[in-house]
Amino acid sequence: MLLAEGLGLPLWPERATEFAVRYDWLFIYILVVTTIAGLLVYAGLTYLCFRYAKKPGGTSQRVLGSHKLELIWTAIPAAFFLSFFVGSTIIFDEVSHPPADAPEIFVVGKQWMWKIQHPNGVREINELHLQDGVAVKVTITSEDVIHNFGIPAFRNKIDAMPGRYVTTWYKPNKVGTYHIFCDQYCGQGHSQMVGKVHVLSKDDYAAWLEGHKTDAPGTPGDRPTDGTAAWHGQQLFFKLQCINCHNNVYDADSVNSSNRAPNLEGLFGSQVPLEGGKTVPADGAYIRESIRNPEAKVHAGWKAIMPAYPRAQVSEEELGQLVAYIQYLKKGKLPKRTSQDAAPVGAPTAGESLGDKVPPAPIPAPAPKPDDKKLDDKKPEEKKPAPTKGGN
Amino acid sequence: MATTHTPVTTPTTLELDYTPQTAPPVVDVDGPPKVHYLNHSFGWLSWLLTVDHKRIGILYLIPLTIFFMCGGIAAGLVRLNLIQPYGAILELDQYNKAFTAHGTIMLFLFLIPVIPGVLGNFFVPMMIGAKDMAFPKLNLASWYVWMGGAMFFIAALLFGGLDTGWTFYPPYSSKYSHTNVIWAGLGVFITGFSSILTGLNIIATVHKMRAPGMTWGRLPLFVWAMYATSVIQILATPVLAMAVCLLATERIFGVGIFDPSLGGDPLLFQHLFWYYSHPAVYIMILPGMGVINEVITCFSRKNIFGYKAVAWSSVGIAVVGFLVWGHHMFLSGQGIYLGMVFSVLTMLVAIPSAVKVFNWTATFYGGQITFEAPMLFTIGFIVLFTIGGLTGLFLGILGTDIHLHDTYFVIAHFHFTMVGGMMFAWQAGLHFYWPKMTGKMYSDFWSRLAAVIMLVGFSLTFLPQFVAGYHGLPRRYPYYPVEFQMMNILSTAGATIQGFGYLMPAVYLPLSLFFGRNAGANPWRATGLEWQTPSPPTMHNFEELPIVTHGPYEYALPSKFTLEDGHAHETKGGNGGH
């Protein structure tokens, strides 16, 4: 690594999380042990080569081996390897378990860009703004092929697998700008699937949030704040007619009535009973699977009648928004099923279209399109003066 | 002094004493025999229809050398392109095709078949005292199958190329790539059969064709290594064939197997692929390790240190090597518990490799070491393979793999084992056995120089990549952040030196056929049965059935047949008394 300085690279790669520091200690420990081991082999090799170089008239000794020595040089490496294994498992365990209260950032890889969505609805492409000292959980998936979301300064990297949610987390502790790389070969533009992560101080982060719609957690009412992930999810919930079955209308008189599907209020985080007595936790991966492939895990007591929604109908990004909405749907949050009649998605809305509260009109473009990257910047005037608590 | 030119003799009695008082005979004859395997018949057909294991070995050698050069040219294009952060010579697509061509050619058409195909075919029967392989015709069929597969492969790369990387990960390969995935997959599928047939043949040969007295405990360690390799080839290759078939099914018929948008699971492919391809790196390295045993004992005039440990470590690597494939998928969400199992098994498979390195080093103890080209390559192997093995530890455990996964650190590690290890072992084997295969001795000076140049060039190429990898540079990047430029330039400079190193044997080895002096039967004064035949060997290897009375490496014992000083076939490379 000493060589690196003066050759374009810093002496030691930057570290912007506490995890990176712990990772480096493990790396250094293994590096020191392996370097010593390697040097011992080289020293032995060099000594023996000189000491036993052929001499005129010399004869070699008939040495067949030594069980004692072999035992030693089997046991010592084995012990060190075991220590590497233990240390690295601890490190991996740490990176696998996000803090429970961390806000969730949703990342979708797509040939060849990263689409990032914050829980407060801010969306970015190839850029990720994080607040110094605030841990975030990151859930990653892909729309097409396998990608890998790597941030060297965080010593973190995770595959973006199509059809799966993979999670990791960061808690940046150093203000700065760092590389985001795609580390899994994904085709022609693989090396351009790069971005920057900006770690901002609390004030800078707040300033950056200016001009972005933010959610207001705990705001009374039964609809999510405009522009947030959950808000987009609600739009989709109507557009895709989810509400037709997943509603809270239980009276048999109504046309289309009835409970053809479970009410999703309070679903997120609960245990869903399946036929046969098993239960499955209702997390993002479960909801995702239940939309893409509804027959995989059917709620006990319900018929498997839900149509599947392939990617042609719901993109990964939209899926993430639906998950955010279902996460938002606490008890009593579900709007009336008939709300949709007054307000087709995309139309300017007014009145009690999406609930009892009057939303500020007009509503911006409903379903996000992949190339809609400047959406956030285009309509700053619509920003709702919602209180932004702690930025998240 | 009188020269004891003993005729080709074998002891007449079968000694069962395990602590023999004399070494096996070291024989020499004047010049090559009049009729040997190269000149007993002529014409294309006599080669293309041959069932002689030695000729089949040569049949492998020629295309393998050509494929190595093709793969080397692709590597040269990749390295040249990387001297500038935005690509010096290639478009993005061209770069992707170049690194894929490099990877696939080098792995499927060079590293996997090279030592089993050339040295395995040529020397396994000779080392165990057999006249040929157990199934000579199957052996030839295996070559044809391999060439057929290779042709599909080469056609796929020449006409349109392939851009999936050698790993063929779907859904990129099954749906998004517009290149010749099917044809290349067919090539992999067909060459796989050749691998299986060769493995079968070697296993049958080792079991049934050993000369009297050639017990398992007296087998040369190269044969042990080839045996372990063959077991892996037979058990693992069918899984690759299955994976490729499923991939083709998905790509051609749109059946959802791996693509999640069709209801498949991309991780399934990675499981199937690495179930073959991790053992496959042991298919590549084990024969190389076998060669190292032969060379290191010969040039230090020593028994191998701990025969049993080295033999069983080959078997241990072969067995445990089957259980570690999941360490390629630590980051794909397979879960920490599965990851822990694969991680601890990976640490387990590292132990026999470490034992081998220690035993080789200890073999030098008490020897009479000389430093001819094969020995220099072997020392280069130990030096580089040690780095390759130790850096593998970082990648085989869960925690450190997070950051290093798919960076240049992996590239450097892999090349240290595969080039620093296998390529150097192949050069050691080629230089060691060239006099036996051709009857001619190559230039001592140029061969030693080539070994040094390759070592220097190799180190300069791949040591900077460890640094670049730790700084986060991902693999398979034609464009890269500008701060990595210096490291890439160093790498490219090293690759240039390395390229010259590889060109040198391509010049002096063929020249030795015309200008080299006769090697004599046993220029290195080695003890193996293969050296008790004339060089080049005659059609059926042994005039009389050899009877084995010794372990394989009894260099330290006085031999009643040892050549005295001042013999007629003095070679600078010789280990006879000077």
DSSP of A336-384: PTTHHHH--TTS---TTTTSSSPPPSSPP-SSPPTT-TTHHHH-GGG--
pLDDT at position A129, please?
92
Q: Do B176 and A144 touch (CB under 8 A)?
A: yes
**Whether A122 contacts A212, CB under 8 Å:** yes
Decide if B548 contacts B213 (C-beta within 8 A): yes
pLDDT of residue A64: 87
Q: Which residue has the tokens 């004493």?
A: B17
A38 to chain B: which residues are within 8 Å by CB? 386-387, 390
The amino acid sitting at B494 is G
DSSP string spanning B514-563?
HHPPB--S-TT---SGGGGS-SSPPTTS-SS-----S-TT--SS--TT--
The CATH number of the domain holding residue B165 is 1.20.210.10
CB-based contact (8 Å) between B254 and chain A?
Answer: no
Query: Are A239 and A350 members of one domain?
Result: yes
Q: Which distant-in-sequence residues (6+ apart) come within 8 Å of B388 by Cβ? A: B413, B414, B415, B416, B417, B418, B420, B421
Write down the pLDDT at residue A256: 45
Please check whether residue B390 touches A, CB under 8 A: yes
Q: Does A7 contact B490 at a Cβ distance shorter than 8 Å? A: yes
* pLDDT for position B363: 94
Tell me the torsion sign for CA atoms A236, A241, A245, A251: positive
User: Do A256 and A193 fall into the same domain?
Assistant: no
Same domain, A245 and A134: no
| Average pLDDT estimate for B130-152 | 95
- Residue among A82, A156, A293 whose CB faces B402 most closely: A156
A301 touches chain B (CB under 8 A): no
- The nearest CA of chain B is from the CA of A71 a distance in Å of 9
Residue A350 phi/psi, 5° resolution? -155, 170
Q: Does A27 touch chain B (CB under 8 A)?
A: yes
Split into its structural domains, chain A has a count of 2
- Residue B492 to residue B255: CA distance in whole angstroms: 43
Q: Is A47 inside any structural domain?
A: no
| Other Cβ atoms closer than 10 A to B100 | 26
Chain B residue numbers touching A23 (CB-CB < 8 A): 399-400, 402-403
Residue-range definition of the domain harbouring residue B495:
44-532
What does chain A come to in residues?
392
Report, as ranges of residue numbers, the positions in chain A whose pLDDT lies below 50: 1-2, 215-221, 251-258, 340-392
Least Cα separation, residue B220 to chain A (angstroms): 14
Q: Tell me whether the omega of the peptide bond preceding residue A362 falls within 30 degrees of 0, making it cis.
A: yes
Here the tokens at position A6 are 């003066």
For helices A229-239 and A316-328, angle between their N-to-C axes, nearest 10 degrees? 100
Q: How many CB atoms lie within 10 A of CB A133?
A: 14
Indicate whether A241 and A117 sit together in one domain. no
Cβ of A189 and B92 within 8 Å?
Answer: yes
In the predicted structure, residue B26 carries a pLDDT above the cut 70: no
Report the CATH number at residue A267.
1.10.760.10
Report if residue A235 sits inside a domain: yes
- C-alpha to C-alpha distances, B448 to A192, B444, B459, B526, nearest whole angstrom: 44, 6, 17, 19
How many Cα neighbours within 13 Å face the side chain of A54? 18
Q: Quote the CA–CA distance of A122 and A227 in Å, as a whole number.
A: 8
Task: Tell me, yes or no, whether A281 and A178 share the same domain.
Answer: no
Any domain includes A311: yes
Residue in B331, B365, B485 closest to A8 by CB = B485
Distance from CA of B277 to the nearest CA of A (A): 18
A350 CB burial (10 A radius; 0-12, 13-18, 19+): middle
Q: Are B384 and B461 in contact (CB under 8 A)?
A: no
A242 belongs to a structural domain: yes
Q: Looking at the domain assignment, is residue A217 inside a domain?
A: no
**Among residues B299, B322, B295, B328, which one has the least CA distance to residue B396?**
B328
CATH number at residue A194: 2.60.40.420
- Residue B464 counted as domain residue: yes
The closest CB to that of B364, out of A27, A48, A293, belongs to A48
For B288-333, write each residue's pLDDT tens digit. Answer: 999 999 999 999 998 999 999 999 999 999 999 999 999 999 998 8
Q: Do residues A357 and A240 share a domain?
A: yes
Contact between A3 and B467 using a beta-carbon 8 Å cutoff? yes
pLDDT for the residue numbered A351: 41
pLDDT of residue A251: 44
Kindly indicate the confidence band of residue B3, based on its pLDDT and cuts at 50, 70 and 90.
very low
Closest residue by Cα to residue B471 from A232, A305, A155, A90:
A155
Per-window interface: B 514-553 vs A, CB < 8 A: none
Distance from CA of B484 to the nearest CA of A (A): 6
The CA distance from A228 to A220, in Å, is 15
> Closest residue of A to B364, CA-based?
A48
What whole-number distance in Å separates Cα of residue A136 and Cα of residue A158? 15
Portion 18-47 of B in contact with A at CB < 8 A: none
| Same structural domain, A314 and A255 | yes
Structural domain harbouring A333: 229-368
Q: d(Cα B78, Cα B100) in Å, to the nearest integer?
A: 10
Residue B225's pLDDT band (cuts 50, 70, 90): very high
Q: Quick check: is A67 in a domain?
A: no
CA distance B350 to B359: 14
For chain B, the helix, strand and coil percentages under 3-state DSSP, each to the nearest 5: 65, 0, 35
Neighbours of B217 (CB within 10 A): 11
Q: Find which of A73, A82, A196 to mutate to test the B interface (most B CBs within 10 Å of its CB).
A: A73
- pLDDT tier, B231 (very low <50, low <70, confident <90, very high otherwise): very high
What Å distances lie between residue A382 and A86, A240, A322, A351, B321, CA to CA? 53, 26, 23, 18, 60
Q: Residue A277 falls within a domain, yes or no?
A: yes
Tell me the chain A residues in contact with residue B493 when contact means C-beta distances shorter than 8 Å: none
Asked if B528 and B119 touch (Cβ cutoff 8 Å), the reply is no
Query: To 5 degrees, how large is the angle CA B518–CA B521–CA B524?
Result: 90
CB B392 within 8 A of CB B401: no
Using the Cβ of A85 and the Cβ atoms of chain B, whether some distance falls under 8 Å is answered with yes
- My answer on whether A187 and A286 are in the same domain is no
Q: So what's the pLDDT on residue B568? A: 39
Cα separation, B73 vs B222, in Å, equals: 31
A68 touches chain B (CB under 8 A): no
**Interatomic CA distance for residues A144 and A109, integer angstroms:** 8
**Contact (CB<8Å) B350/A185:** no
Give the model confidence (pLDDT) of B438-479 as tens digits: 999 999 999 999 999 999 999 999 999 999 999 999 999 999
**Residue A181 bridge partners (DSSP):** A150
**Alpha-carbon span B479 to B87, nearest angstrom:** 6
In angstroms, the CA B283 to CA B294 distance is 18
In this structure, what are the phi and psi dihedrals at residue B79, rounded to the nearest 5 degrees? -65, -40
Residues of A in contact with B96 (CB under 8 A): 185, 187-188, 190
Within this chain, do residues A274 and A155 fall inside the same structural domain, yes or no? no
The residue type at B33: P
DSSP characters over A246-280: SSS---TTSTT-S-SS---TT-TTSEEEBTTS-EE
Q: Does B577 touch chain A (CB under 8 A)?
A: yes
Which of the residues B400, B416, B572 would you substitute to probe the A interface, choosing the one with the greatest number of A C-beta atoms within 10 Å?
Answer: B400
Each residue of B187-222: pLDDT tens digit? Answer: 999 999 999 999 999 999 999 999 999 999 999 999
Option in B260, B331, B487 nearest A162 (CB): B260
In a domain, A25, yes or no: no
Give the largest CA-CA distance in chain B. Answer: 82
